[in-house]
Structure 1
Amino acid sequence: MEELYVWRGIACLVLADAVRRFTKFCFEHSNPKQESMRFAALADQEGNGGRAEETHRVLGDPKWTASFFVNKQNLRIFRRRWAPQDKAIASVVLVHGYTEHSGRYEGVAESLRARGFLVVALDHQGHGRSEGTRAYVERFDHYVDDVVTLARECPKPLFVVGHSMGGLIALLAAYRLRKELAGVVSLAPPVIPLPPPSLPLVTISKFMSRVLPKARLPATLPSDSVTGDAQNVHALLNDPLVYQGPYKARWADEIFCAMASAKCQLRTSFPVPLCLHHGTRDTAVPVESSKTWYADLADDCVDRSFHLHDGLFHELLFEPNGRGDAIFNAILDWLKRRV
């Protein structure tokens, strides 16, 4: 009898430890304020983050300014602004993708600024220097809300340019801004889930999203699969502001819902000039996603173009051997023709 009690005690200890480990796995780094402070500290180590207002200067010229705004979820959202010396010919809102931050597009923004564009970008909530649980969002529309808020501060003509998840956000924001926008550029957007998720997977995803929304799923986006440039992979893996962890349950469910919105909503009406780019070797977001979505786009999207890039991976603007630069130049030409 005593031996039975001993074994029961051991079983209880093992179960308690398993519950503790599972809880830690699911909810590690789930406090948005603590996480934001941690990433702000990392930004300060980088030498240019964490302060409410600051200006970076190159040869006496304001290269970019940074500030925060408070969004509808009462989170402080970090934003950057690159202003040309003379009056801007147009405004461009840059929208970054999942796990990353606006700082990764500083080269793109500076190139646009040098050509007369006013460029603005934010770190999505839960990303970069912005507040919020890392790589987590209660509603995907919250991302879109913040981009629309930022865009409406900008003088016209106005463009939105987004990559990956940012490309999906850009499309949904463009629909809301359709009467105010001169055009949208979307690079490798996840507009249709391919291969389609099975019914059990969808059911489990929705259950986890409601019951354990911040649970960390046993899946992640490997940085070495998004680009063919070894230097870019190294930069991604060593950037303290890039999230390296697994997907969160609510985020996964919300992006599936956002894809459904993009498929249904934009098939009905999308009267916005559209420039879509995708690489044929993209393993993060299969190119068939863009092909299928583009073929089914609303008829009122008359000014539209789809550019396939043979042999290129997910991060098109960072591809080596001048191919990323060629894509940037094509986008620049597209923007200029619509100013």
Structure 2
Amino acid sequence: MSQPPFQPTRSDLQGEAGMLAVYDWPLPDVTPGLGTVLLVHGLGEHAGRYGELAAQLRSWGFIVRAYDQQGHGQSEGARGDMLHPGSLQADLGRVIDATRQHPHSANLPLVLLGHSMGGLVVARALAEQLRPVDAAVLSSPALGASPNVLQKLLLATLPKLAPHLCVDNGLDANFVARDAAEVQAYKADPRVHRRISIGLAAWILSQGTRTVEEAARWSVPTLLLYAGDDHLVQAGASAAFARSAPAEVVQAHCFEAMYHEIFHDPEREQVYSLLKPWLLARFSA
């Protein structure tokens, strides 16, 4: 099912909190691209975990670009922190601008594909009309979390007092995916970390709720794919977003049995079988 590995090229781009590590999976020079897909990863992980997805997208005719968000992977910034509210979207805007100017991507349609926290970053950038893009794919986006009473009390006060204080993110890695090998690889990955700042946690909670509340005004063609048995974010928040968003704009599908990382699921071919025709219907040659 998976495509042969293809190592991306690495470059750096100035971001809000320092240099951002950017990765490109170009098509052969003789191959005209249908568009560019820009991948935005989730909390605690990095872009290097999406090599198989990049290979699939390339095999369908798409140029692929990704970057490590600030405080993640090989990008600069305090681990698990954000410089200030809005800095994650600002970084995405910088990468979009650079992608638009890249000789391989210039004049091609641009699709944003965000997973988990990356899905929320994409969603906020689109809701705030940060940059025009042609379409979006949201993978198990962090539109809802379930903090306990103590966490709610802390998050009501600490972001103002100590926004950059970092704690363990509390995520159970065993529920990342149903594939035991993927879970083991996640746990053993030296570029995966478990840190999150109080300010980032508060931002995720507030902006996820805000995104669902604003769903009726959604205007960017979007494919929402999410896990039904998600223990890391609320699947119900994605369902609520899909119910409120215009049906002609947002197409949603829930993979009932899957855990959070649908692109690392043993049955991820089901995900690809929805993603591929959705992309090709909009960006065919």
TM-score (norm 2): 0.87
Residues 1:225 and 2:175 aligned together:
yes
The alignment-based identity, stated in percent, is: 25
Higher relative contact order (CA 8 A, sep 6+): 2
Pairs within 5 Å for 1:67-216: 67-73=11-17, 75-85=18-28, 86-152=31-97, 153-154=99-100, 155=106, 156-177=108-129, 180-194=132-146, 198=149, 201-216=151-166
Distance across 2 between alignment mates of 1:226 and 1:334: 25
Compute the displacement of 1:216 (Å): 3.6
Counterpart of 2:103 in structure 1 is none
Distance across 2 between alignment mates of 1:177 and 1:328: 28
**Aligned match for 1:284, one of 232, 239, 253:** 232
Distance across 2 between alignment mates of 1:72 and 1:147: 10
Counterpart of 2:219 in structure 1 is 271
In the alignment, residue 154 of structure 2 is paired with which amino acid? I
Counterpart of 1:311 in structure 2 is 257
Pairs within 5 Å for 1:38-57: none
Q: Is the 8 A contact 1:140 1:258 kept in 2?
A: no
CA-to-aligned-CA distance 1:127-176 (integer Å, 9 cap, x gap): 00000110111334211111122123233311111111111112122334
Compute the displacement of 1:63 (Å): 4.6
Structure 2: runs of 5+ lacking an equivalent = 101-105
In the alignment, residue 303 of structure 1 is paired with which amino acid? V
In the alignment, residue 16 of structure 2 is paired with which amino acid? K
**Aligned match for 1:261, one of 181, 204, 210:** 210
Q: Taking structure 1 as reference, are residues 260 and 286 closer, same or farther at Cα in structure 2, changes over 3 Å only?
A: closer
Partner of 2:263: helix, strand, or coil? Answer: helix
Residues 1:338 and 2:282 aligned together:
yes
Partner of 2:10: helix, strand, or coil? Answer: strand
Counterpart of 1:244 in structure 2 is 194
Q: Is the 8 A contact 2:125 2:131 kept in 1?
A: no
Q: Is the 8 A contact 2:227 2:260 kept in 1?
A: yes
Distance across 1 between alignment mates of 2:209 and 2:230: 21
Distance across 2 between alignment mates of 1:111 and 1:202: 40
Distance across 2 between alignment mates of 1:220 and 1:157: 38
Q: Is the 8 A contact 2:70 2:82 kept in 1?
A: yes
Q: Taking structure 1 as reference, are residues 64 and 218 closer, same or farther at Cα in structure 2, changes over 3 Å only?
A: closer
In the alignment, residue 221 of structure 1 is paired with which amino acid? L
Distance across 2 between alignment mates of 1:212 and 1:146: 23
Compute the displacement of 1:303 (Å): 2.6
In the alignment, residue 253 of structure 2 is paired with which amino acid? H
TM-score (norm 1): 0.74
Q: Is the 8 A contact 1:178 1:271 kept in 2?
A: no
Q: Is the 8 A contact 2:20 2:69 kept in 1?
A: yes
In the alignment, residue 109 of structure 1 is paired with which amino acid? A
Structure with the bigger percentage of helix: 1
Compute the displacement of 1:187 (Å): 1.0
Q: Is the 8 A contact 2:143 2:234 kept in 1?
A: no
Partner of 1:337: helix, strand, or coil? Answer: helix
Q: Taking structure 1 as reference, are residues 160 and 177 closer, same or farther at Cα in structure 2, changes over 3 Å only?
A: farther
Counterpart of 1:53 in structure 2 is none
Q: Is the 8 A contact 2:242 2:250 kept in 1?
A: no
> Radius of gyration: which is bigger?
1
Compute the displacement of 1:204 (Å): 2.1
Partner of 2:190: helix, strand, or coil? Answer: coil
Structure 1: runs of 5+ lacking an equivalent = 1-57
Distance across 1 between alignment mates of 2:39 and 2:53: 9
Residues 1:326 and 2:270 aligned together:
yes
Taking only aligned residues, the RMSD between alpha carbons, in angstroms, comes to 2.3
Q: Taking structure 1 as reference, are residues 139 and 182 closer, same or farther at Cα in structure 2, changes over 3 Å only?
A: same
Q: Taking structure 1 as reference, are residues 329 and 132 closer, same or farther at Cα in structure 2, changes over 3 Å only?
A: same
